[in-house]
Amino acid sequence: MTDNSTASETRPLSATLGALRAALGEDSVRVGEQIGERAMTDWTRHAPTRPAALLLPRSTEQVAQALAICHAAYQPVVPQGGMTGLAGGAIARSTDIALSLERLSGVEEVDAASATLTVRAGTTLQAAQEAAADAGFELALDLGARGSCQIGGNLATNAGGNRVIQSGTARDQVLGLEVVLANGDVLTSLGKMVKNNTGYDLKHWFIGSEGTLGVITRAVLRLHPQRAARHTALVALDGYDAAVNLLRRLSTRFGNDIGAFEIMWPDFYDLGVSWTATARSPFADSHPLYALIEHASFDAGDDGGRFTAALTDALEAGAIRDAVIAQSVADARALWAIRECTAEFPARLDPVNFDVSLPIGEIGAFVDHCRAALDQRWPGNASYFFGHIGDSNLHVTVDGHSIPGVDHHAVYAFVYEMLRPLHGSVSAEHGIGLLKREFLPISRSPAELAAMAAIKHALDPHGILNPGKLF
């Protein structure tokens, strides 16, 4: 890489803004009151901060020009997408320049032969999904924030979401990527090929790097055929081991036609049921654990008979306690409503949210241990456990209202520390961003952190890209 800098230290902001205006045009460089609230915080509701400037480039070339200028001036830059992050990764400080990708928007191509979609970074996930669907395909990435989040942010954070058990994370959807490096060099690796062993696979450096190594401007995403039939069941289980066994039993029979395997412990399940319209569980009795399972088949003629037979077999074998199988879309929605009570967490609780991952076999014991430890530390706490166990992902929400006077940070530190001996991950899907930096060493060794720092320095020697995030 060429070092385009001429300065050896930070330039005055006025000179940098002047150069940016000359390169991008007046209307692409906003300051002060011209900067709307959108650029000031994200879904973490972190204290809003107005960045020193907001850039709105219209093309990859303009992104490259902007970064070259900021690189030369040692000027920190914070890439911004849909601002739906849950770790503060796109929040700018008052001395940072925010770089919004929102004008780099639109699907450039759907290639049916390759089953790929080429999209600009500022396109919303929903717009990309719709373009795929219009061409008869499915984009196998889906999040609650789909209407607001942008593809660039999805890839920069390696978003997870609702389809991971079936099709992997955002990373697994990417065939090609265009990235602008800190110094303005453009890496255009927009290949549509599944196989390509020509040197380092550069796209993987940037996916999940939270904007600290480069700015993603375009991507080629893999498309999947649409699944033609979906069947949903709610299953009652003896406990965690039974859930893992059921997951293996169904995977053996259906492979990745199992499209959801959501586990709910009774605390969560009872809360979810109580918030539904009927406030009644479809089961007469209480059970130690519940699983919401979706079977999604490519076979339009699949009437759910094979899925029902598999659950019946499991019931007869004593592998499950009971099952309710949705007979209609309305039935399926009613079952999903229990799991989706999380949408109301921000309004009805004071949620302290955890998004951790552990080996699948260890999640059950961790939940027991974590609950006991929370009860001992804060008697009377209300905590809810649920997860995508097929993805090794556990969510825990502690309701701050139940432990008045306890700072959220104390709860974070207490729960994350329990992951250390288990080599668990403090972030399964949300990322590290600003909010989990201090906990990163729980999941990463000093040697790993040193290697990350070496790579960061190699690709961003002036340290301008999203400083203060991750590290």
Closest CB 203 distance from a copy of itself, rounded Å: 9
Closest CB 225 distance from a copy of itself, rounded Å: 4
Sign of CA dihedral 418, 423, 429, 432: positive
Question: What single-letter DSSP state applies at residue 319?
Answer: S
Q: What is the C-alpha separation between 94 and 288, in angstroms, rounded?
A: 50
| 53-55 vs 97-100, strand pairing mode | parallel
Rg from Cα positions in the chain: 24
Closest CB 393 distance from a copy of itself, rounded Å: 5
Q: Which is nearer to a copy of itself, 53 or 412 (CB)?
A: 412
Structure tokens, 388 = 């995508």
Closest CB 240 distance from a copy of itself, rounded Å: 10
Q: Which is nearer to a copy of itself, 334 or 412 (CB)?
A: 412
Q: Exposed, middle or buried, 470 (CB in 10 Å: 0-12/13-18/19+)? A: buried
Closest CB 171 distance from a copy of itself, rounded Å: 7
Is residue 18 within 8 A of residue 58, CB to CB? The reply is no
Helix (H) or strand (E) holding 354: strand 351-357
- Tally the residues of the chain: 471
Closest CB 278 distance from a copy of itself, rounded Å: 33
Q: Which is nearer to a copy of itself, 51 or 85 (CB)?
A: 85
* Residue 463 CA, distance from chain mean position: 25
Is residue 174 within 8 A of residue 155, CB to CB? The reply is yes
Q: Which is nearer to a copy of itself, 381 or 427 (CB)?
A: 427
Q: Which is nearer to a copy of itself, 168 or 288 (CB)?
A: 168
Q: Which is nearer to a copy of itself, 142 or 429 (CB)?
A: 429
Q: Which is nearer to a copy of itself, 268 or 439 (CB)?
A: 439
Closest CB 181 distance from a copy of itself, rounded Å: 7
Name the residue type at position 424.
Answer: G
Helix (H) or strand (E) holding 369: helix 363-377
